[in-house]
Structure 1
């Protein structure tokens, strides 16, 4: 279902997403991969400019960390928040697929990755880091390491493919189950964390 009447800008965007530059067939896989890699490079550069470390500064890089201590929180390859990023990616896929059902999957993936990159940059700005620490979320937060941030976008990409495989109904059910599990286990979640930031809880 289309959510708005088409205009010239929508038509141009649709043409680019469905036929590629110059209208010569759908966007190439190589172009989409290049856009995703470029977006992640921009995120890494932004975090570096914010003073974020490449890897945890005070302990060895681990595949998984469940610690909410300042030296470990959002510093390793994966953590409990990785599940929230999977949910975020799944939700973005459902949104983009509902808005632009005629777009090829690779174009939708580019939009989802760009959405993740924008969030990773915003999340690591000093004002947002301070905002997170002013809420009642568990642990202390000093921003992501660059490796953790890139891993977050990888989790968003995983969520994209899971939602594409399951469809929106099964994705919604799975998201509810995961959200409840996160709230019970770490007293946080995608919905709960958003409500905290907005000051609703």
Structure 2
């Protein structure tokens, strides 16, 4: 498949995700009525509502992981086709993540008591951030990608007491001690 065809299919997949999220009743942008590039830590209500926040590194790490996964299982396929697989998985996660079941799970089992789901803008950019990570992993040495993932995880852990590792843990096997520590 040509790179331009991969790009077109990828854009269609992202547009379809936007359509599904809107049909699910997700807010297009933050209820605050404006768009920020970065949501600072003191704007808890703005988390998952704007272009980037402290969970953006997790989506970049998704891209690292998806790149390596598709390199393992579809090594002979062009990188554009592997990127389509990554878009599909990330888009599916954005849809599931914004379902009532996962939103309620976050509220009950994690420190995100007031979590209301992502805005469509944030979900869309989460897919783009994943692609940043995917193409970073494609072009950079493995050691640098691993170092970047570790740095992202430690930075988010330090700043917001959460990261991809804790997010997965708390969604799949919640621990009261971790929840208490995260609540600070």
- Partner of 1:81 in structure 2? 55
Question: Following TM superposition, where does structure 1 have runs of at least 4 consecutive aligned residues deviating by more than 3 angstroms?
Answer: 67-71
2:100 maps to 1:130: no
CA-to-aligned-CA distance 1:70-118 (integer Å, 9 cap, x gap): 6412111111111110011111101111222211111111111111111
Q: Is the contact made by 2:67 and 2:138 (CA closer than 8 Å) also made in structure 1?
A: yes
Bigger relative contact order, structure 1 or 2, given CA contacts below 8 A and separation 6+?
A: 2
2:114 maps to 1:140: yes
- Partner of 2:140 in structure 1? 166
Bigger Rg, which one: 1
Structure 2 stretches of 5 or more lacking a match?
A: 176-184
Output aligned runs, 1:5-84, within 5 Å.
27-67=1-41, 71-84=45-58
Q: Is the contact made by 2:59 and 2:129 (CA closer than 8 Å) also made in structure 1?
A: yes
- Partner of 1:3 in structure 2? none
For 2:89 and 2:110, the matched residues in 1 are separated by: 26
Q: Is the contact made by 1:73 and 1:140 (CA closer than 8 Å) also made in structure 2?
A: no
Q: SS at 2:46's partner residue?
A: coil
TM-score, length basis structure 2:
0.88
Alignment RMSD, CA only? 1.7
For 1:134 and 1:58, the matched residues in 2 are separated by: 25
TM-score, length basis structure 1:
0.81
2:174 maps to 1:193: no
- Partner of 2:76 in structure 1? 102
Q: 134-143 or 150-159, which moves further after superposition?
A: 134-143
Q: 68-77 or 159-168, which moves further after superposition?
A: 68-77
Change (3 A) 1:171 1:152: same
Change (3 A) 1:139 1:187: farther
For 2:113 and 2:126, the matched residues in 1 are separated by: 18
For 2:112 and 2:118, the matched residues in 1 are separated by: 15
Q: Is the contact made by 1:78 and 1:151 (CA closer than 8 Å) also made in structure 2?
A: yes
Change (3 A) 1:68 1:127: farther
For 2:41 and 2:24, the matched residues in 1 are separated by: 23
- Partner of 1:176 in structure 2? 150
Q: Is the contact made by 1:138 and 1:188 (CA closer than 8 Å) also made in structure 2?
A: no
